[in-house]
Structure formats: structure tokens, C-alpha cells
Structure 1
Amino acid sequence: MPANAVEHRVERIVDGDTVYLKDGTKVRLHGIDSPERDQPYGKQATHNLDKLIGRTVS
């Protein structure tokens, strides 16, 4: 991990390319354009990120 990396805990998943961190920061995943929840495969895309809830990411 780079020396200047910052770690945060994932609080909730918005959709397949957007999460909120515990400190309230909204994060869009760079280079990812997943379907929205109401589009085909949107629920599956969102579900794929569910495993990040509560985990620390950097």
C-alpha cells in the first residue's frame, strides 16, 4: 500500500459503482460504469459490492 494511502470503512452501497464511507464521503469507483439499480442487472451489480459493507478499504 502506498505511504499516502488512507483507509476508511464502507458504510453502505448505493449501486454497483457508488459507495458511502463511514465518515459520510460518497465514493464513485474509478473506471466503473455499472447499471443503475432499476436497469437490467442493476441489482446484481449492487449485490456484488455488498461484501464491502463494514470492511476497511483504501
Structure 2
Amino acid sequence: MAAKVSGRPAPAVIAALASRQRPAPGTVVLDIECGRGASTVSLARALPDCPLTAGTAAPPP
């Protein structure tokens, strides 16, 4: 089951919140504990001018 926030998929909420911050182009975005990467993909789409680094300590399922 996918994580949800207020009934919406969590990656979409994370991307919307990040977009509202309006980071300057080139601002590095860090996605910590990204799991399978759904939030990372959403962030990359929402912030195309920002380099993105993602990582997780969780072992693959």
C-alpha cells in the first residue's frame, strides 16, 4: 500500500511542498530515505532545474 497524506499519494504532496519553496535553479535538493524512489521521481519532475541527490539506508525488499 502506498503512503498517503490527506488522501493524496505522499510523493505528490512532497513534490508540491518542494515546488512552493521555489528554489533557485541549481539549488541541490536532497531526498533522504527515498525508499523505492517514487518521491525522488516526483521531485525531479517538479523541480527540473535543480540537481537531485537521493539515498536510503533501507535494504531492498
TM-score using structure 1 length: 0.22
Q: Which has the higher contact order (CA 8 A, sep 6+)?
A: 1
Q: By percentage of residues, which structure has more strand?
A: 1
TM-score using structure 2 length: 0.22
